[in-house]
Structure 1
Amino acid sequence: MGDEFEQILDKLGQFRGYQVLVFSLLQLSDVVTAWTMLLPIFISARPQWYCPNTADNSTNNNTVSVSPHIENGTLFDSMTYSDGAKDFINFTILHEMVQYKSQSLDSNMSQYYEAGGYIKGFCTSDGGICEGHTYSTDFTSVISEWNLLCSEKYIGTLITTIQMIGVLGGAIVIGQLGDTFGRKMIYFATIALNSVFGTVMAFASSWQLFAACRFMNGFCMGGLLNINYIWPMEFVGPRWRTFCGCVGLFQVGGMTLALLAYFIRDWRNLCLATSLPPLALMFTWWAIPESPRWLSMKNRFAEAEIILTKMAKWNKRPVPDFSKLRTFAETEKAKLGKMKSYSYWDLFRTPAMCKNMLIVMYAWFVCAAVFYGLNYNVKNLAGDRYLNMFLVSFIDMPAVWSTIFFNAWCGRRKTLFVSMLIAGLANFAVLFVDVAGKMEELSLLTKILALIGKFGISASWSVAYLYSAELFPTVVRNLAMGLASTTGRIGGIIAPQLVYMNNFSKPLPFIIFGCLGITSALANAFLPETRGKPLPDSVPLWKWKKSSAIKSNQDESEMPLSETGSISNGNCLLVEGNREISGSEVCPSLVEEQEPCLVEPSCTGDLDSEWVEQSH
């Protein structure tokens, strides 16, 4: 924001008791976000299903029988079927039945007896389900509820895609509502509506109604992601914003969802368990204040002063001079009134900006597609799905925290390049496991490679938020981040479809994830480094002269800083949805043919530039 508001925050304490309380309470909604976004992993999972050991397609007396017998401690199938049954049976399922026999004796015997003499499920030649099919009692899902198998097995994936489309819509619409009606009202409204639609979903009588509820859940989460990222940032000083942007409870939400799903195996009850408890967050209404920045911009100075006074008391700091609030509001409105109107075309005005924009868009697309793809692909990993989900969520924590260190030590470009390359290579390596014919024997190795890939893509997305905001001039940064975020949402939309390709080839989703990660890493190598460089302010002039305060033989880290840790005497903007927030970096004067100047926030968060929603 403006220098006046930053001075007030500096006197109140940039991240002390009051801000820690507000930040902590707001992060609880990250758990709600994770529950809602990742819930399809369990409620749309396909349980094991079985067909009777005799099949009749109503025109031929075609039979399939399985006689289990033991050889050297291993259970085998002796399959016999009539000639007519060869066309009746889906031979993909037969192949799975052959693989199925090589499992351990105890596992197979229990499955045979649980199936009550049934064999593993298969589809008819016309895409129907065999008569008299039944499901394993291990868990229930929407698949078993509405028999979304065979010719309709795509519907489960389609519902998840519909949810992700809702996320895109919510990010656009609810972000605007947050600017109009305030952060607080929209924040609590989205939580309440998400619980309402989640509850309705638990009692859905058709998959169409269920899909509609999932769209609305995604819509609410798209808005909540936006607001819950920007709102805490408006309470803390610039030194702490990168830190606050990196930490969160989304990973904790993923881990707790795995625990809930483990103990609650019925999909309707699981929907209720993840929809009703978040209503408890409504009681934090009295503890979380409206953003004083937003209030000041709306000329509601009395309310802003009450909040800031309370902040001063909590932080045991003197009450600041509130006359600066009015100065801040008047200055910001005057700037907005004089600001030239820019369009998306300006992002591609020069070759350098065009290159950077295309690379950033692709990076966001890859981050979202691979991140959500690996999450939704948990159901296809060997072993316990609940443990797999816990591990896939847990690995995000060291990944995100490591970027704080590597951003400052290695710079943005190297960190993004290496993390994205790790994600790509780890996923692509699954291909070699498959080529060796060891997908079943080396299932643990496949799981480890998936976890390494998840580590890399989580780190990449964390870097991409900061890096993208630093690459573009102030006046178009809002547009650039909005466009990058949109491509990220599109990546999230196609992620379930990429996972669906597991039905055609088990390693295929990993191969696609790997190709996306590797190509994005190579493209990222062509981005300029931004560590230690001030942000550019205008378009289309993209070449800048180094500040006179920086000698040619000085290290870039020696540039003069203001008390807030930012380059002083300037104005930069930061993005949340379509919202612009002014900042306090300066860019040197325009001249010809020099290196582009981009700002460096420290690893603890000096950057007072655009803040975008955290898209996990």
Structure 2
Amino acid sequence: MLSSPRPFDSHLEECGAFSFYQILVLLITQLSYVTVSGSMLCTVFDNLKPIVKACHDEEFDSLIQNASTSIDLCKCKNATLETEFDSLIVHLGFACKGSYVATSMSTAVMAGGVIGSIVFGYLADRFGRKPSLISCLAGCVLINLVLPFIAHGLTVVIIMLFLLGFFAGGYLVISVVPPVEVTTNRWRMLCNCLHGWPFGCMAMALTAYLTRRWNTYHLALGIEGIPFLVAHFFVSESPRWLLQHGQPTKAHKVLRRIASINRREPLKHAVAFYPDGADDQQESNVVNYTYFDLIRDKVVLLPLLVLSYSWFSGGVISFGIYFDLGGMAGSIFLKTFLMGLFKGTTGFIPYPLSKVLGRKPILVTSIVITSFSAWGTVILYYVGKAEYMPVLAVIGIGAIDPMWKINHLMSVELFPTVVRSMSRGVVNVSSRLASLVAPQVAYLSTFLAPLPFMIYGSMTVLHIIMVIRYLPETRYLQLPETMSIKKDEQNNAYTTESTNV
């Protein structure tokens, strides 16, 4: 096990815990969501269908005068259409082929996200945060630039959307880690509250509004990501990762660079530092962990299971809203923009609260409000006040985002540096799986309107119990660096050791 003469956070304080360099890393990694969010949620616009404003077929003449009657695009041969966005599904000629094509396209992106979360979670822990982030963002940029020129058939589109989700899902896993690993405990909450996803949703809405066509939309996403891709090359590898992977001299150089950019004096204390010639020997002693080690280490496994359920529960509710935006009244661009703005606003609430409360109270409060909103919606239906159901639904949506901020933060704080990205990969997979389940849950409303909210409410009750009973408080904890089990790869043996930094 690599050790440090002092807790690693003290070295970061000496370099400047949250100064120019940390702000630079935060901006580069989170502003890149202008491409990542738009890629992950591209089917919000790619699957839009035109609205029939009038049908000139004789059989529909009696309906033209009735403004409240909707006319099926696929049943009208001579229609006057209103198109907010010239979508990919219309370009492919599948707008009237039933919902299975739209569902298949959305599922392809989400399935790619599941695989990408697993693959890049492992690669980021094995080969570093920086190359993994660059690979993911480069993949998003490249796919968006290429897609408009090769989208000539559904099979090709499904494959490309899967790859888009693959790289975007990988970026989602890793992007929170670098800003948090280069700062200290008191700044981690702020870093998470400034997560780039809501900003990306707003940017996605503006991009779609300005382009109004699927091919220029994807081209714009790719072009928007290029400057941020270049900027990633100026960010150093995480010094925590370097130290835990037998490269203390490189870690020391990174910390000196951070101190220089932050206009601080060079480090006065060693960072578990070995002579240059010792690096090769240190690297040979480094243990490479796998996903199976997350199961073997009981200290890691329990919070991993609780957070996985937390991400799944929140994902079922959140993604049900994302992909239903096109079916709700109002401009799709305005709805998407306001959704991002609302999530960004409510998502910042945990930061001031964290000054007086721990992570768990904020998390539990967020889930409780969501639970009351879900069950309140059910009650409104049965007392004949169904028209007020959307109000409570919106309150529930707003309450979810603080939960996500705590989820992101605790997924960094609870797991050791050597398996942090893999652990985040597991919980992100839970969220991606939720995105596949959410449309099926929402579909149950066709049988009984409040049934999805009954499921949401039941999930939140279990969620509250699990968090209170099994999730530890992390407010004052330093980031764990090593596993509680020591792995001997040569003898395939495990021993228990302390996880203290």
Same fold (TM over 0.5): yes
Alignment partners' CA distance in 1, 2:49 and 2:432: 26
Matches within 5 A, 1:144-543: 144-149=90-95, 152-203=98-149, 204-285=151-232, 287-297=234-244, 303-321=250-268, 323-327=270-274, 342=293, 344=295, 347=298, 359-407=306-354, 409-431=356-378, 442=387, 445-467=388-410, 483-499=426-442, 509-510=452-453, 512-527=455-470, 530=473
Q: Give the drift of 1:216.
A: 0.7
Residues 474, 399 of structure 1: alpha-carbon distance in 2 compared, 3 angstrom cutoff = same
Spell out, residue by residue over 1:49-77, the C-alpha distance to the aligned partner (whole angstroms, 9 max, x if none).
Answer: 4795548xxxxxxx4542645xxxxxx38
Deviation at 1:183, TM superposition (A): 2.8
Mapped to 1, the partners of 2:95 and 2:465 lie a distance apart of: 40
Letter in 2 for 1:66: S
Structure 1 window deviating more from structure 2 (246-255 vs 521-530): it is 521-530
CA distance in 2 between partners of 1:131 and 1:449 (Å): 40
Q: Secondary structure at the match of 2:348?
A: helix
Tell me which of 2, 20, 23 is aligned to 2:23: 20
Greater Cα shift, 508-517 or 419-428: 508-517
In structure 1, C-alpha distance between the alignment counterparts of 2:357 and 2:248, rounded to whole Å: 43
- For 1:140, the equivalent position in structure 2 comes to 86
Aligned to 1:545: none
Structure 1 residue identity aligned to 2:397: K
Q: Which residue of 1 aligns with 2:39?
A: 36
What is residue 9 of structure 1 aligned with on the other side?
Answer: 12
Q: CA deviation at 1:365?
A: 0.8
Contact 2:205 2:336 in 1 (8 A): yes
Q: TM-score, normalised by structure 2?
A: 0.80
Deviates more, 1:482-491 or 1:469-478: 469-478
2:488 aligned residue = none
Residue 46 of structure 1 corresponds to which residue in structure 2?
49
CA deviation string 1:238-257 (max 9, x = no partner): 43233323322221111122
Distance 1:235 1:530, change over 3 A: closer
Deviations 1:232-282 (A, max 9, x none): 233223432333233222211111222222232222221222222211223
Task: Quickly say closer, same or farther: Cα 1:424–1:374, change in 2 above 3 A.
Answer: farther
Contact 1:14 / 1:238 at 8 angstroms: preserved in 2? no
What per-residue deviation string (whole Å, max 9, x for no partner) do you get for residues 100-132 of structure 1? 24xxxxxxxxxxxxxxxxx81266xxxxx5656
Query: Closer, same or farther in 2 for the Cα pair 1:431/1:273, shift >3 Å?
Result: farther
Q: Determine the structure 1 residue equivalent to 2:489.
A: none
In structure 1, what is the equivalent of residue 493 of structure 2? none
| In structure 1, distance between residues paired with 2:274 and 2:139 | 38
**What is the deviation of 1:321?**
4.8
Question: Are residues 213 and 387 of structure 1, via their aligned partners in 2, closer, same or farther at CA, if it must alter by over 3 Å?
Answer: same
Task: Return the letter of the residue paired with 1:45.
Answer: L
Question: Match for 1:11: what amino acid?
Answer: E
Q: Which amino acid aligns with 2:326?
A: K
**In structure 2, do the counterparts of structure 1 residues 186 and 473 end up closer, same or farther at CA, with 3 Å as the change threshold?**
closer
1:365-416 per-position Cα deviation (integer Å, ceiling 9, x unaligned)? 1012212222222223222222221221112223222223445534444432
Secondary structure, counterpart of 2:271 in structure 1: helix
Please tell me whether the aligned partners of residues 246 and 401 of structure 1 are also in contact (alpha carbons under 8 angstroms). yes
Give unpaired runs (5+ residues) of structure 1.
56-62, 70-75, 78-99, 102-118, 124-128, 535-565, 576-587, 590-598, 600-607, 610-616
The alpha-carbon deviation at position 166 of structure 1 amounts to 0.9
| 1:66 and 2:62 correspond | yes
Bigger share in helix: 2
Q: Displacement of 1:422 after TM fit?
A: 1.8
Larger Rg, first or second structure (1 or 2): 1
TM-superposed CA distance for 1:428, in Å, is: 4.6
Q: Number of residue pairs matched?
A: 481
Q: Distance in 2 between matches of 1:503 and 1:197?
A: 36
Query: Any stretches of 5+ residues in structure 2 without a counterpart?
Result: 485-496
In the aligned structure 2, how far is the partner of 1:221 from the partner of 1:266? Answer: 21
| Deviations 1:116-164 (CA, angstroms, capped at 9, x unpaired) | xxx81266xxxxx565667433322233223435653122122112211
Determine if contact 1:170/1:220 at 8 Å carries over to the other structure: yes
Match of 2:494 in 1: none
**What do residues 525-566 of structure 1 show as CA deviations (whole Å, max 9, x unaligned)?**
4446636787xxxxxxxxxxxxxxxxxxxxxxxxxxxxxxx5
1:120 aligns with 2:71: yes
Structure 1 vs Structure 2 CA RMSD: 4.2
Alignment check: 8 A CA contact 2:47 2:102 kept? yes
C-alpha displacement of 1:467: 4.8
Change in 2 beyond 3 A, CA 1:486/1:2: farther
Q: What is the CA-CA distance between 1:32 and the residue it aligns to? A: 2.2
Distance 2:248 2:306 in 1: 42
Q: Secondary structure at the match of 2:144?
A: helix
- For 1:488 and 1:375, the matched residues in 2 are separated by 13
